[in-house]
Amino acid sequence: MQTRRLKTDGLTQQILEAGTGPLVLLIHGFPELGISWRAQVEALAAAGYRAVAPDMRGYGGTDRPEGSANYTALQLVGDMVDLVRALGESQCFVVGHDWGAPIAWHCALLRPDLFQAVAGLSVPFQPRRPNGPPTPAMAVLSKRAGLGDLYINRLQAPDAHLAFEADPATALRKMFWSYDGATADADQSTGFLPPGVSMLEYVSDHATLPLWMRPEHFAAYVAAFTESGFEGPVNWYRAMDLNWSLTAFLQGQKIHQPALFIVGERDPVRHYSGAHEAGMADWVTDLRDRIVIPGAGHWIQQERPETVNAALLAFFDDVSGQLGCKS
């Protein structure tokens, strides 16, 4: 594996890459980096693929434009289109985890000519809702159910990123621990916050690193977020309503490429995305498989790398055989 930076249209992106063969883009989520995919980059490269995991816009070694208007889904998909071109390729497979999953789904939705197959981890495809932007609806529904505030609504505040930047190591440790499959039910985050309690205050100060997170790997996360901050990553959330306003042309659009969905059985994100997970086949017409990994939490490509690698390789080998793009 090697890390390098390359210039795309209007952005310099840092990537982790290895291998030769059909291109697979691996899109990370919040609060992750390209290195979140190290196990997948290694396995895909060994199996005859060219695996590339970028630090996404606002993260790590990639550029960090100012302002939430520079973090729309259209721009993030555009970054991936530009990256494929900069890598000298004309087609690829795409995988996304957490926030990376909606971007991967939208890569497939917007550019089916370029993204031949798609895999989403942890977050299912969510079609555009027709009745107004998402964050006001989230606020109404969570309060009506007596659940408090969904963390997504809290992150809309212009200073929401500052709490994470005050102590990146503690913030990252708490987030990884509270969404980990091995964390006890009482300590796992549900995504909903009581009034007056912040996202980080809600997680116990006894949070420890998950067993799968090696100290040197965690140190790389801390160093990257200490340098780049959290404003860019949080801007992805702040652009959600803008995404809605920009994508009326996608209303009712379905994904027709071969697709795979993988989720951890104990992933807290299922508390607020479960309905979309259940209805995915209505919107993703060639959904080859929906895999639920027993006991796994949210960080599945790091928690259960062997299981995720096997599923991705089986899926891509099958698609490659059908497309004739891998000998």
Give tens-digit pLDDT for 72-109: 999 999 999 999 999 999 999 999 999 999 999 999 99
Based on its alpha-carbon atoms, the radius of gyration of the chain, rounded to whole angstroms, reads 18
Is omega for the bond preceding 31 within 30 degrees of 0, making it cis?
yes
Residue 327 has pLDDT above 70, yes or no: no
**Domains annotated on the chain, with CATH:** 2-323 (3.40.50.1820)
Q: What is the DSSP string of 67-97?
A: SGGG--HHHHHHHHHHHHHHTT-S-EEEEEE
Say what the pLDDT of residue 17 is: 98
Is 298 an active-site residue?
yes
3-state secondary structure 246-273: HCHHHCCCCECCCEEEEEECCCCCHHHH
- The answer to whether residue 55 scores a pLDDT higher than 70 is yes
Contact call for residues 119 and 97 (beta carbons, < 8 A)? no
- Among 87, 37, 85, smallest CA distance to 59 is for 37
Q: Which of 98, 149, 180, 267 is catalytic?
A: 98
Q: Which of 97, 106, 161, 298 does the annotation list as catalytic?
A: 298
Q: What pLDDT, in 10s, does the model give residues 296-323? A: 999 999 999 999 999 999 999 999 989 8
Among 52-61, 141-150, 165-174, 233-242, which is the least confidently predicted range?
Answer: 141-150
Q: pLDDT tens across 177-192, in order?
A: 999 999 999 999 999 9
The pair phi, psi for residue 154, each rounded to 5°, is -65, -35
**Residue 120: what pLDDT?**
98
How far apart, in Å, are the Cα atoms of 325 and each of 23, 89, 173, 316? 10, 13, 41, 10
Quick: pLDDT tens for 259-281: 999 999 999 999 888 778 888 99
- Pairing mode of beta strands 287-293, 149-150: unpaired
DSSP-assigned letter for residue 308: H
Residue 294 backbone zone (phi > 0: left; psi -120 to 50: alpha; other: beta): beta
Listed residue (205, 95, 118, 199) closest to 157, CA to CA = 199
pLDDT confidence of residue 168: 97
Q: pLDDT category, 165, cuts 50, 70, 90?
A: very high
pLDDT given at position 118: 98
Q: Mean pLDDT over all residues of the chain?
A: 95
Distances (CA, A) of 167 to 164, 170, 171, 191, 210: 6, 6, 6, 21, 18
Tokens of 215: 């100290």
**Cα separation, 50 vs 43, whole angstroms:** 10
Could you identify the residue written with the tokens 């299981």?
307
Give helix then strand counts, H and E, for the chain. Answer: 13, 10
Q: Is 267 a catalytic residue?
A: no
pTM over 0.85? The answer is: yes
Class of residue 325 by CB neighbours under 10 A (exposed 0-12, middle 13-18, buried 19+): middle
Q: Which long-range contacts (CB under 8 A, 24 or more apart) does 59-62 make?
A: 59/28, 59/32, 59/33, 59/224, 59/228, 59/232, 59/233, 60/14, 60/33, 60/34, 60/224, 60/228, 61/3, 61/5, 61/14, 61/224, 61/228, 62/11, 62/12, 62/13, 62/14
